[in-house]
A and B are shown apart, each in its own frame.
Chain A
Amino acid sequence: MHSNKAATERRQRFDRQVGVYHQDMYRYAAWLSRDKTIAEDVVQEALLRAWKSLDALRDDSSAKQWLLTIVRRENARYFERKRLETVDIDNLTASQAALLAEQPDEELDEMRRAIYELEDDYREPLVLQVLMGFSTNEIAEQMGLKQGAVLTRLHRARAKLKDQMAKS
């Protein structure tokens, strides 16, 4: 009886966190992998791993960072397993191209393409700051970097995007 109640509460807690952060998990995975299909696989694995280790999440206010960290590790595992080659933007698979599916807004298309072409080291902190609302300190923790390195990467990422958009 007690076990059933605990299991139910555990599941409810899990569903609550996933319900709130599923979109963030998917978008983070998509911009890490630059591939919608891989992002879905990564999120599935991350959800499974989060479920198994939910008890390690002591404070639900840390759930977002906790889940995104799991996504990051799952993405690294995925690429280690598959040993995928570098993406050539002029020769994308359908699943990669889906991330850049044309929008009615041409400027939005250009920006999405420019972000897609950013190096991983620049794209990731930008996603964490702009989309996930992380502070530079939180980004440093998430990526295992010094805060100074994060600031440099954010600065360069924006400079590159600004240049790219000025050209187009």
Chain B
Amino acid sequence: MNCEEYRAAIATDPSFDGGAGHLNECADCQLYRSEMQALDQKINRALAIDVPELQMPELPELSTSKSDNVTTLRKRSWAPPTWFAMAATIVVAALLGVRLIGTGIEHESLADEILAHLDGEPNALRVTDVAITDARLNTVVPADIAHMDHSAGLITYAQTCPIRGYDVPHLVIQGERGPVTILLMPEENISGPQRLSGENVNGVILPVGDGSIAIIGERDERLDRIEESVLKSVAWRT
């Protein structure tokens, strides 16, 4: 390690404790280190502003019935021809840019719950180029529920999450504008595609067989291609 490398390391983190060999022989770097550590102490003091007493907001009562009744996905028989016919219809609709706005009263709460869920799991929405492993994907999307391959895009997050009382696979792929959330919901039957829109996000819930798939990205993300690839990469096994 030379002076330049050592100083670069100290300047990004004055608590850096590597480079002892160089430090022992370089008085200039010892001085630089002391200066940066003193600077950091001042920064710390300056940042530690007084905090007013905690004012807890009025917290709404939340029903615990859903979490009490969380069940695993039921297996359901489903003939492949039906799946292929319906998936093909949806893919064609997506390719043609057909966007049906759901009348949505019956399922409005599904969209709300999905958006609320996204807000509650912000760590999922990080920008990264590190894909999850096949083993992780297979754990979150078990073979007896659905098959999903990596063709939908770079899958960077997978977690099983409760949505409307069911544990469902929550996946994130990296879109052009940022992370795109995908929720596979084999138990959520909807009559037609539903748009959903939150602050900075837009998305759609697509009916797929007896279930549905939600796809939500940044507001300016082009979802049509992602919708197409997700629909191609997912097949229910329930």
Binding site for B on A (CB under 8 A): 2-3, 6-7, 10-11, 14, 18-19, 22-23, 26-27, 30-31, 36, 40, 44-45, 47-57, 62, 65-66, 69-70, 72-73, 76-77, 80, 99, 107-108, 111-112, 115, 126-127, 129-131, 136, 141-142, 144-145, 151, 154-155, 158-159, 161-162, 165
Interface segment among B37-45, B83-91, B135-143: the answer is B37-45
Which B64-121 residues have C-beta < 8 A from chain A?
Answer: 64-65, 67-68, 116-117, 119-121
**Whole-angstrom distance from the CB of A7 to the nearest CB of chain B?**
6
Residues of chain B contacted by A165 (CB below 8 angstroms)? 39, 42
Partner pick for A131 among B36, B48, B55, B161, CB 8 A cutoff: B48
Asked if A3 and B68 make an inter-chain contact with CB atoms under 8 angstroms apart, the answer reads yes
Once A52-B116, A145-B127, A154-B12 are accepted as A-B contacts, the answer to whether A111 and B68 lie under 8 Å apart by CB is no
Partner pick for B13 among A65, A99, A111, A129, CB 8 A cutoff: A129
Distance in angstroms between the alpha carbons of A53 and B112 in the assembled complex: 13
B interface size (C-beta, 8 A): 47
Partner pick for B43 among A73, A126, A141, A144, CB 8 A cutoff: A126
A-B contact pairs, 28 of them (CB 8 A): A10-B64, A14-B59, A22-B51, A26-B51, A30-B49, A51-B62, A52-B60, A52-B62, A53-B119, A53-B120, A55-B120, A55-B162, A56-B117, A66-B122, A80-B200, A108-B42, A112-B46, A130-B43, A136-B13, A144-B125, A144-B126, A145-B127, A154-B12, A155-B11, A155-B12, A158-B43, A159-B11, A161-B43
Residues of chain A contacted by B55 (CB below 8 angstroms)? 40, 44
Binding site for A on B (CB under 8 A): 8, 11-14, 35-36, 39-40, 42-49, 51-52, 54-57, 59-62, 64-65, 67-68, 116-117, 119-123, 125-128, 161-162, 178, 199-200
Asked if B11 and A111 make an inter-chain contact with CB atoms under 8 angstroms apart, the answer reads no
Residues of chain B contacted by A56 (CB below 8 angstroms)? 117, 120-121, 161
Nearest neighbor of A9 in chain B, beta-carbon distance: B64
Nearest neighbor of B54 in chain A, beta-carbon distance: A22
Asked if A154 and B11 make an inter-chain contact with CB atoms under 8 angstroms apart, the answer reads yes
Partner pick for A151 among B12, B51, B56, B162, CB 8 A cutoff: B12
**Whole-angstrom distance from the CB of A164 to the nearest CB of chain B?**
11
Once A18-B54, A73-B122, A151-B12 are accepted as A-B contacts, the answer to whether A161 and B117 lie under 8 Å apart by CB is no
Asked if B49 and A7 make an inter-chain contact with CB atoms under 8 angstroms apart, the answer reads no
Nearest neighbor of B56 in chain A, beta-carbon distance: A47
Partner pick for A27 among B51, B62, B122, B178, CB 8 A cutoff: B51
**Whole-angstrom distance from the CB of A27 to the nearest CB of chain B?**
6
Residues of chain A contacted by B120 (CB below 8 angstroms)? 49-50, 52-57
Residues of chain A contacted by B14 (CB below 8 angstroms)? 158
Asked if B44 and A141 make an inter-chain contact with CB atoms under 8 angstroms apart, the answer reads no
Nearest neighbor of A129 in chain B, beta-carbon distance: B13
Partner pick for A130 among B40, B52, B67, B199, CB 8 A cutoff: B40
Asked if A77 and B199 make an inter-chain contact with CB atoms under 8 angstroms apart, the answer reads yes
Distance in angstroms between the alpha carbons of A16 and B114 in the assembled complex: 27
Distance in angstroms between the alpha carbons of A7 and B69 in the assembled complex: 14
Asked if A69 and B13 make an inter-chain contact with CB atoms under 8 angstroms apart, the answer reads no
